[in-house]
Amino acid sequence: MASYMTWTDAFSIGVVQFDEEHKQLIELVNELHDSICAGTTGETLKRIYDALVAHTVAHFDHEEEYFDAMHYPRAGQHKAMHEHLKRALIAFHEKIGRKDSARVAEEMLRFLGDSLGHHIHGEDKKYGAFLNQHGIA
Ligand SMILES: [Fe+2]
Ligand SMILES: [Fe+2]
């Protein structure tokens, strides 16, 4: 089955640890996509989705640890974006398992793919450049 998202060098933010974490998240988005295509619904889909949310939250925490440790000037804006994304992800959890779950799953996948890609290419690349300037790659 074709991947929903593919990590390429264009996604690189220049910091190995976070590139690896982003690759894992993209892998999990692809697993979610495959499960949806295979017709997975209800509690099983919720479990897969929850694993993805848990990884995303852990990843955001890792990034934020660096912001705090390095006194990153855009920490406030970046953390607010993480909060916004987390709230959106949790809202989807409550919708999975309702009657129109196929539509919700599709909507959720599109949201995840778009927002993750957009976040990595935008805000994450900014702190990647900042970390590079401070000797972290
Ligand atoms: Fe990130
Ligand atoms: Fe981020």
Q: What's the structural domain count of the chain? A: 1
Distance 39 CA to ligand 2 centre (A): 31
Distance 124 CA to ligand 1 centre (A): 6
| pTM of the predicted protein model | 0.93
In a domain, 7, yes or no: no
Distance 40 CA to ligand 1 centre (A): 27
Does residue 111 contact residue 88 with C-beta atoms inside 8 Å? yes
Domain that holds residue 25: 14-133
Hey, what long-range contacts does 83-87 have (CB within 8 A, 24 or more apart)?
85/56, 85/60, 85/115, 85/119, 86/56, 86/57, 86/60
In a domain, 66, yes or no: yes
Residue 61 maps to which CATH number? 1.20.120.50
Predicted confidence pLDDT, tens digits, the chain (137 residues): 678 999 999 999 999 999 999 999 999 999 999 998 998 888 888 888 899 999 999 999 999 999 999 999 999 999 999 999 999 998 888 888 676 677 888 888 899 999 999 999 999 999 999 999 999 99
Distance 96 CA to ligand 1 centre (A): 25
Distance 123 CA to ligand 1 centre (A): 8
